[in-house]
Structure 1
Amino acid sequence: MAVAHARAFRIVLRISYLLLAAALTWLFVAGIDYYSLPLDQRPHHPDFRSLRPAGTVGHGLGIVGSLQILLLLLYSLRKRWRRLAGLGHIGRWLDAHIFLGVSGPLLVTLHTSFKVQGLVAVSYWSMMAVAISGVFGRYLYLQLPRNVLGEAMTLEQIQAQLAQTDQRLREQHGLDQRIMSALEAVTIAGGSLWRLPLNNMLLGMRLRGQLPAGASPAVLGDAKARVLLGRRILFHHRIQELFHYWHVIHKPFAFLMLIIM
């Protein structure tokens, strides 16, 4: 049942992104003539009454975008209020949080008709700083292994999981010490924290050169899990440190944005 719910959520999320992309593209293309005009010429455009920030379309975009930004607070509430722990996996809450964090600022950008001034500009650029830093935070989040509840595992828990994976590779899959040493070398060769996504994408190709010919998908899967866990142990302290600095940047901009809104 949990697997079915997770699959259904992913499908809904993908459809939501597709609909958002289609709607934004249509709105931008339909209003490009208006958006490209200087401010002093816009009142003479036939779409001025609808696309200006106080217009029917512009005002509606502002309401929907602002509502989505306010809904971002639900994720923080879900993380901190234990009574909400049973309302879905924390990872799905984060995915919804990211969708709202992408959709809201884009809708607000169209609401402003790409022109922000005065105090509104402070709120707008604070919002964009929150959105951009959120992408960085999502990357850091993905580098920390999590348990079935979506909670970040401690370094000791990751090391224990790595030891179990090593034991499974040796005892169940019969990998000898030479291959295990090769896997350790691949782990260490992961490069810097910022190159991890690319290196992890190429991991399958590298592992096929280290594992016995005809290795089963189960062996390849455990070997990949072993390398990824090892790399996350290597970068664990650095990731935690970056998370601290990320919160120092992300939260103040979020509060500033909400106060001015």
Structure 2
Amino acid sequence: MLCFRLSAVSFGTLATVLALTACNTTPVDETIGWSPEKIYSEASQERAVGNFDKAITLYEKLEGRAAGTPLAQQAELDKAYTYYKSNEQAQALAVLDRFLRLHPASPALDYAIYLKGLVNFNDNLGLFGSLAQQDLSERDQKSAKASFESFREVVTRFPESKYAPDSRERMTYIVNSLADSEVHVARYYYKRGAYLAAINRVQVALTDYANAPALEEALYILMKSYDALGMTQLRDDAQRVMQTNYPASGFLSSGVKSVTGPWWKLW
């Protein structure tokens, strides 16, 4: 039988080699000796070229190095924006919620609230664009409504903010889009003979989205649904409202639009 005995000398040598190997695998912090301004500059450059993970790491280092300073607050906001640009909406919202909680008097508060609206706006992109193949009756509108509330807060609390004009435009867009979605679903139900369901969706649109362009068709669907149910008094009431508000409406002559294709191609 062969026996191998590890001497004290060889054991010590092995331990030294293992220790050196461990040391060699320890990541080197390249930011040691950097000023906060340099870290911020490097993070911004990394983000500009699409290295989002590296930029986020640098912003987090800056938050620690410059804690309690305006630059640390800026790093938090830039980190949130970087998450947003990398389509990490949940992380972006978490950073912004923390910022709003810890810095309620920040001079950048209007931007933080605006950015929160922007994150939710894009999170619900399917409602407004490329993912609109899904039937709207199945789509969650929570993000769009949260986005609207953030933009409304900017406009209400900071009417002179440079972010207020864009917030107003996005609010209008959200309202019109949500109204469109309700009317799309109402039209879907009407075409399939589900008149009560169509009436319910129209009433939501009329109540929640006053002055939206889609309300012209909403009133027409309401009128036709009441007529199909034999509710003549309510039909006549809906017709009077429609003729008063849209005296030249083409719906009275051409009827309800077809329900073919994705809704965003119908408006």
The interval holding the TM-score normalised by the smaller chain is 0.3 to 0.5
**Larger helix proportion of the pair:** 1
TM superposition score normalised by structure 2: 0.32
TM-score (norm 1): 0.33
Higher relative CO (CA 8 A, sep ≥ 6), structure 1 or 2? 1
Structure showing greater Rg: 2
